[in-house]
Structure 1
Amino acid sequence: MMMMMSSDSMDCSMETEEESFKGNEIEKTKISLMRTLVETQDPSSKEVDDLTFRRFLRARDLDVEKASAMFLKYLKWRRNFVPNGSISPSEVAHEIEQNKMFLQGSDKKGRPIAVVLGARHFQHKGGAEEFKRFIVYTFDKIFARMLPGQEKFVVIGDLEGWGYANSDIRAYLAALSLVQDYYPERLEKLFIVHAPYIFMTAWKIVYPFIDNKTRKKIVFVGNKTLKSTLLDEIDESQLPETYGGKLPLVPIHDC
């Protein structure tokens, strides 16, 4: 099985993203330039905080013009896709019925943990559009759980029992596009666990569409090292019971 290990080293301190930002003068200067450029084209961006601007800047390697274009595209998309400001449960009813997404606990740096059970995902009459709304619904739930100054989250993608009936390439690519185009620098790490061999067929199709920054955040974890790998970054008190921790799985729509 193809194994991908993150090259990102883990800082042992509990410094938040906000605290880390305060001392970076180069980023501050570029954020100021970006803010000026964006506000002239979309005055609503005046309400956006500096950490949000920084995420888009980092996604474009601190290129102000590219980051500004990316952010303006995000603002336009958000207004059109979420005109009421949030996604209601009734708009993602088929997705919620599958009971496949959970949210509880945090890693050792205070980042929220989401768990997705891939074997519970099936295509339905709501199609890819409802799935995309569900991704936005999920992200908004995760962000609401974040501590002040925190920006990123961790996902455990559990593929135990996954089969071809669960394979939904359109949905996978839709989720990937949303993460990369509209939610840059939000995902800290994706642990893929219990991945069956047949999953690699779908993975080979999706992999070329994953940008290099995102690839470094994806970790395939073998069954023998599952608990020890997760415990390196998540305290036992914050780890779901199914992985040897102490927390029950809580459906995201109940959070």
Structure 2
Amino acid sequence: MGDTGAQAEVLPTTDDSGVVGTLTVEQQSALNTFRDKVKDVIRPEHDDRFLLKWLKARKFDLNKSEEMLRNSLSWREKNNVDTILEDFESPEVIKKYFTGGTSGFDKEGCPIWVDPLGRLDFKGLCACARKIDLIKHKVYRLELYTKIMKEQSKKLGKVIDRETIIYDMEKVGMRHLWKPGIDTFNQFVTLVEDNYPERLKFIFIVNAPKIFPVIWKLVRPFVAEETRKKIKVFGTTNYKDTLLEHIDADQLPAAYGGTLVDKFGDPRCGDMVGNTV
């Protein structure tokens, strides 16, 4: 866990059980039953791999999985999520100051989301933008990445439906403990957990400050157990080799051990991943 004092339970693992090709007899039976229970709402593109995400997210509890899927499909319809890439454009202040963006793809072809969270002035952003637009911006980016993953799947000839995330917490301090900001971040976490199950491959948290255990205590209740298993927290050292195990150097910003810089020569790739001032 590096030198942050965070709990040792959050170690990165991937669980490939409960997916197509690895199902037990009981899991296959559950999938067959689940498919029949939700046949009135699923679409032709909702294949077994899609259905298994919801089952796995609720540990193959059929009733909970059905409720989760139906609630999510209702949420998508209510909020016009299927057309958000065409219908919504984030306000300029959000596009300019909200951190996060892609640096490329990991070694398996999954997109990488790099987010210099410590450089986000969320309080200032909330003063200049409506909360509903912040949430829509988040959904927009999630749907954009879904589109990117579909394009990658076609390009590589294999299913790409997970992403690798790097959260850079350099400069995170007491100002980031602003309660409305924490509450909104947790709302983002809940939105992802409820509507984009089994999407995460890994989360690498780097440059975690000494107050990280305090922040983690506030966020942890909103993070699913399976998600927590995919998180690795580092202090300011010893993370670059780990990142390079999963990401080729030319896809990783130079500030994190790779060779990638943006068009301005910034080793943090600020032009690609957001405000790095």
Q: Aligned to 1:240, which of 235, 239, 253?
A: 253
- Tell me whether 1:251 sits opposite 2:272 in the alignment: yes
1:203 Cα shift?
2.4
Q: Which residue of 1 aligns with 2:122?
A: 122
1:57 Cα shift?
0.8
Structure 1 residues 214 and 10, CA gap change in structure 2 (3 angstroms): closer
8 Å contact kept, 2:204–2:231:
yes
| SS, match of residue 84 in structure 2 | coil
> What is the correspondence of 1:1-255 to structure 2 with a 5 Å cutoff?
1-3=4-6, 4=8, 5-8=10-13, 21-22=20-21, 24=23, 26=25, 27-40=27-40, 42=41, 45-82=43-80, 85-87=83-85, 90-118=89-117, 119-123=119-123, 124=126, 125-146=128-149, 147-148=152-153, 149-167=159-177, 168-248=181-261, 249=269, 251=272
8 Å contact kept, 2:252–2:259:
yes
8 Å contact kept, 1:107–1:238:
yes
Q: Which amino acid aligns with 1:156?
A: I
Q: Which amino acid aligns with 1:243?
A: Y
1:196 Cα shift?
1.8
Q: How far apart, CA to CA, are the structure 2 residues paired with 1:215 and 1:65?
A: 23
1:25 Cα shift?
6.3
8 Å contact kept, 1:122–1:165:
no
Structure 1 residues 81 and 141, CA gap change in structure 2 (3 angstroms): same
Q: How far apart, CA to CA, are the structure 2 residues paired with 1:52 and 1:35?
A: 10
Structure 1 residues 144 and 121, CA gap change in structure 2 (3 angstroms): farther
Superposition CA RMSD, Å? 2.6
How many residue pairs get aligned? The number is 244
Q: Give the % identical residues.
A: 29
Structure 1 residues 66 and 236, CA gap change in structure 2 (3 angstroms): same
Q: How far apart, CA to CA, are the structure 2 residues paired with 1:200 and 1:131?
A: 26
Q: How far apart, CA to CA, are the structure 2 residues paired with 1:105 and 1:84?
A: 24
Deviations 1:35-68 (A, max 9, x none): 221123x3x5344232211111110112222211
Is there any run of 5+ residues in structure 1 with no aligned partner, and where?
A: 12-16
8 Å contact kept, 2:209–2:235:
no
Q: TM-score, normalised by structure 1?
A: 0.83
Structure 1 residues 223 and 102, CA gap change in structure 2 (3 angstroms): same
8 Å contact kept, 1:98–1:120:
yes
Structure scoring higher RCO (CA < 8 A, sep ≥ 6) equals 2
Is there any run of 5+ residues in structure 2 with no aligned partner, and where?
A: 154-158, 262-268
1:156 Cα shift?
0.3
8 Å contact kept, 1:7–1:216:
yes
Q: How far apart, CA to CA, are the structure 2 residues paired with 1:31 and 1:92?
A: 42
| SS, match of residue 155 in structure 1 | strand
